[in-house]
Structure formats: structure tokens, C-alpha cells
Amino acid sequence: MKRFRSFLMSLTRSPIGLVGTILAGTAGFLIVTLILWESIGEQQHPYLGIITYMVLPVFLILGLILVVVGIRRQRRRLAAQLESGEIKIAEFPVIDLNDDRTRAWLISAGAFGATAAVILTMATAKGVEYVDSNAFCGATCHVMEPEFTAYQRSPHARVHCVECHVGSGARFFLKAKVSGVREVYRLWTNTYERPIPTPVNNLRPATATCQHCHWPTKFIGDRPGVIDKFRSDSANTHLQTILMLHVGGQTLGESEGIHWHVDPANEVRYRSDPSREDIREVVLTRPDGTEKRWFNSADPNPQWTATGSSAEEDRDEGEETIPTDVWRSMDCVDCHNRPTHVYWTPEQAMDEALLRGAVSENLPFVRREGLRLLKEEYGSRDEALAAIADGMEAFYRDSFPAAGQAQADAVSEAGEVIGLLWATNIFPEMNITWGTYPDHLGHPGFKGGCLRCHTGTMKTEDGEAVSTDCGTCHQVLAMDKPAAQIRLTTEETN
């Protein structure tokens, strides 16, 4: 202990060395303390991770640098103060291991350096783990609140953000972190986009992410599907649509059904605007290498093609291209474009709340009134929560006083739940409202999704249209039938 005290005194003989020692020691102590606190399961605020693994290591390194600078300056100052020419201070320290003090100093310096190295290694390893965590991706940045909220209620809520947005490999990790630095700059300068655009151009191909779990050969043949909804009548009638989905895929060497679109034997490429909402041209390359091309007849310039496309040579001389158009080979996310960050429509939100019983379907016209309140415009979250709760109570007080009194708790709960439906789908500060992020799985509301191509307007030069036969993808067994009637029919059949 005496030798360590002597070593510590040698580090702090100069003001710079003293500051550096205090800085490094404090930062190291805090890093170890916070890591231990996390390891025993204590709940932490997301910003503590930034402090522990990003801010404090910088101060630790700065402190160590100041210690070295302080020792160097102290030696120069001592040399300048010596008046006798017979006594000289060597430019570099003389390490004599036969001297007890020198050995003690080296042992203390080695222990000090090793401790600092261990702390920095721990902080670096935990820092890499932290910047890959869901808390860092979603909770430390307020502009990501909408995406993080939608992620937490999605089917992939237990899948880490980086598994889809980064994937495996050092190159993609580095690319993601460089991109993150740009996003931090936009946040600091308040120049980020509102709403944040869907990163359709930055995501890795589905083969490198989605298909690690959802391999195409697993999803083949026909699968049943049930769509639940409720009618906006007094009884909030529960309706069901029963489908037999022709998932298809490759069976017995031939592709069919929905997954025909992503069979490697049938390369489907399309040209669209950057959002992939407006598809202008589709090219099918068959296994024998022949091509078939469709153009959107609703496009004012159907023969134009984007720079770099396979049809660029077909343009007339002097004809301009559409600079914003992009070509893309179709894969999973062209239909499953919101597999995780799911935003509902007002109808989907109300139907989901009624289906799980969060809103009582015994309240007269609760779906109709809920939709009316959800579609109103509010300036903030607090305003929406208060106005929706007051609106529900006012409706039942004025229109159905008996039901309102008999089911007062249900009315209050409905107002609270419907308010949260608004607050978890609408974010005024980010310009996110109903429909900002459309879902292309199927054809919700009979728009978008499949209907980007299968509308009758996508035609070849000979006038042959892309198929609009609904039976290619699904067979409708029951369409918006009362759920009670379907259950009764099923019981009678059995």
C-alpha cells in the first residue's frame, strides 16, 4: 500500500497529472459501479447506457492522457529548475530493475494500466452490446417513439431491432453505425424528416434477414385465414371473413399461388417511385430467359424507364428518364412491408380492441362512436386522451343514459382504451396520422398491396393485363358473415 501511495503521489505532482488521475479514477469507478448495478438486474433509464458505455469511457481515456502529459511536464519542469550542471535529468526515464523503488513504481504502473485496460475493454464490449439493444434503438431517441411503440405491439416484438435492420457481418454493423452518426447529426441540428420515411432502400435483402426464420419452403400449399371485424350498428355485430389462402410456393417443381412471386425461378422486377407505392412497369424473366413486360396504362408516361433499367436502350433518342424511379427485384418485404412496425387504420384499431374485449361490445354503437372520435383531429396526446374520454361519456349520457349508468365502468374504460388507440397510432409532432404508413399485405380497404399491380391497368404492349383473378391467391369461404352464424354452421357440420 505504501508503494502504491508513492506511485500515486508521483502521478499527481503536477496539476495536470492530478486532474487526469481524478478524472480517470472517477470515470473508472463509475463505469464499474454502473456495470455491476446492471448485472444485478437493477432497472436503468436508457440514457444511463449512453453515459456508461459512451460518455464515461471518453473521460477515462482523457484522464489517462492527462496523466501522461502531467508526468512529462513535471520532468521538464524539474530539469529546468536544476541549477547545477553536474546533475542532469535524462530525457527518457532510466529503468533500473535492481532498484526497489523502480520495481515498485513499475508494478504499480502495470496494475494501474491493466485495471484501466480491463475497464475500457468491459466498457467497449458492453457498449457494443448496448448500441445493439432495443432500448438504445427505440428509447433513447424521442423521434423513434412512434416506431418503438408500433414495434412493441407487433408479432416480432421479441426479435431484436438489429436482427432485421443490421443483420450479421462486420461490414453491415459498421455501415449501420456510420448511418447512425448521420442520424445523430440530424437530431442535433433538428433537420430530421417528419415523418421518418420507411427505410425501403437501406434494408438488407429478405434472404439475409427474414429467411433466417421464415424460409420459403416452410410456407407452401393452402392455409386458412380468418379476418375479424365489427359492424357499426347498435349491437356492434361481430363479422368474420373466412379465407383459404393459396400460399403456394414451389411444390413438385412448379410454383403457384402467392409465393410464386418470390420463386427464384421466376424473377419479377418492377419500376416504381422511391416509396414503391406507385408501380409503373413490371418485368417477368422466365426460367428459359425470356421476358414479359407490363406497363401501367394509368401512368402518363408508360414507356419511360428509370436510369439503369434493362429497358433503357428502348427509349427514343433524346427521351428523358424519370430520375426518381427505381428498379427492384421483388422479395418478401414488397408485400410484408410492415411486418413489425405495424400502424393500424381506425377500423383495425377499433376491431382489435373489441375482439380482445378491451372495449365492451355490449355498449350500443361503441364502434361507430369510437371511430368518430378516433378520426377527429387533436393537437396533442393529452388533448386527445381527454377529448376522447369526455366524448364517450357525453355520448352515452345524452343518447343512452340508461346504458351509460348501468355500464359506467365500461364506458370509462372504453374512453381510456380508445384514447390509447389514438395515442399509439397518431403522433402529431412527427406528422404521423392514419394512413401515413400503408400496409401492402393483401389489399386492405381494396387499395394498395396487391392492387398496385393487379388492377387491370398493368398491361403489355398487346393489351394483355396482369391477372385480376382473386381466386389465384385465395378462396373466399365466408364474406363478412356474423361470427355467431359461422360458429353455428360449423357446429352443425361437425
Q: What is the pLDDT of residue 414?
A: 95
- CA 484/CA 342 separation, integer angstroms: 29
- CA 53/CA 10 separation, integer angstroms: 30
Q: Model pTM?
A: 0.71
List, in sequence order, every residue forming a beta bridge with 283; answer none if it has no partner: 269, 293
Place of cell 431491432: 161
Residue 358: exposed, middle, or buried by beta-carbon count in 10 A (0-12, 13-18, 19+)?
middle
* Size (the chain), residues: 494
Q: What is the chain's Cα-based Rg? A: 33
Given a contact cutoff of 8 angstroms between Cβ atoms, the answer to whether 136 and 49 are in contact is yes
Given a contact cutoff of 8 angstroms between Cβ atoms, the answer to whether 210 and 192 are in contact is no
DSSP state of 377: -
Return averaged pLDDT per consecutive 10 residues of the chain, 494 residues in all. Answer: 60 73 80 74 59 78 83 71 55 66 74 77 75 78 85 87 77 76 81 82 76 74 88 94 83 73 85 87 89 84 46 39 74 86 91 94 95 94 95 95 92 95 93 89 78 88 87 86 74 49
- CA 377/CA 374 separation, integer angstroms: 8
- 189: number of Cβ within 10 Å: 8
DSSP line for 337-364: S-SSS----HHHHHHHHHHTTSS-TTST
Q: What is the pLDDT of residue 44?
A: 56
- CA 461/CA 340 separation, integer angstroms: 38
List, in sequence order, every residue forming a beta bridge with 248; answer none if it has no partner: 221
- CA 452/CA 481 separation, integer angstroms: 28
- CA 236/CA 428 separation, integer angstroms: 30
Write the CA distances from 148 to 119, 267, 291, integer angstroms. Answer: 32, 34, 42
- CA 310/CA 289 separation, integer angstroms: 13
One-letter amino acid identity for 436? T
Q: What is the pLDDT of residue 93?
A: 61
- Sorted by where each begins, the domain ranges of the chain are 2-131, 136-192, 217-339+444-493, 346-430
- CA 486/CA 229 separation, integer angstroms: 14
Q: What is the pLDDT of residue 494?
A: 47
Q: What is the pLDDT of residue 12?
A: 62
**Alpha carbons within 13 A on the beta-carbon side of 347:** 10
**Alpha carbons within 13 A on the beta-carbon side of 115:** 15
Cis peptide leading into residue 216 (ω within 30°): no
Element (H, E) at 226: strand 221-230
- CA 362/CA 236 separation, integer angstroms: 8
Phi/psi of residue 131, nearest 5 degrees: -70, -10
Given a contact cutoff of 8 angstroms between Cβ atoms, the answer to whether 43 and 117 are in contact is no
- CA 363/CA 371 separation, integer angstroms: 14
Write the CA distances from 138 to 55, 129, 130, 193, 307, integer angstroms. Answer: 19, 15, 12, 17, 36
Given a contact cutoff of 8 angstroms between Cβ atoms, the answer to whether 327 and 313 are in contact is no
